[in-house]
Amino acid sequence: AQSVTQLGSHVSVSEGALVLLRCNYSSSVPPYLFWYVQYPNQGLQLLLKYTSAATLVKGINGFEAEFKKSETSFHLTKPSAHMSDAAEYFCAVSDGQGGSEKLVFGKGTKLTVNP
């Protein structure tokens, strides 16, 4: 069974500071990994995804994540936080092609950006 652990339910940074949101996964097969962002009372928007190609994945809005198999991690980073980045972020894993394609989500990390 797959699972995702997001360390830190709340992260607070200053505007312009580095954003680091942590995600560790567990999967018995090569995983597909995703980061989504959710604004209040809205659906989820895909930030980026890893599907077994380049381990450093660049996404929208200046976010990127690095897949590290040895650490079973897929941490999300952004060099300089913007006020508009304040939202809930979810890491998710699926078992990729040929699998059930179900997404399993972490519990989410709420990012607060202080002026």
Partner 1 sequence: GAVVSQHPSWVICKSGTSVKIECRSLDFQATTMFWYRQFPKQSLMLMATSNEGSKATYEQGVEKDKFLINHASLTLSTLTVTSAHPEDSSFYICSARPPIGGYTFGSGTRLTVV
d(CA 24, CA 87): 20
Residue nearer to partner 1 on the CB measure, 43 or 115: 43
Which one of 49, 62, 72, 99 is in contact with partner 1 (CB under 8 A)? 49
Q: In what order do the strands lie in the sheet with 56-58?
A: 3-7, 19-26, 73-78, 64-68, 56-58
* Interaction of residue 105 with partner 1, rule CB under 8 A: yes
Residues 1, 43, 70, 84: which binds partner 1 (CB under 8 A)? 43
Does 90 engage in binding with partner 1 (CB under 8 A)? Answer: yes
Binding mask 10-39 for partner 1 (x = CB under 8 A): ------------------------x-x---
Among residues 62 and 96, whose Cβ is nearest to partner 1?
96
Contacts of 49 (CB under 8 A, 6+ apart): 32, 33, 34, 35, 57, 59
How many residues belong to the site for partner 1 (CB under 8 A)? 19
Of 76, 73, 105, nearest to 90 by C-alpha is 105
Bridge partners of residue 47, in order along the sequence: none
Give the interface with partner 1 as residue ranges (CB under 8 A): 34, 36, 41-46, 49, 90, 100-108
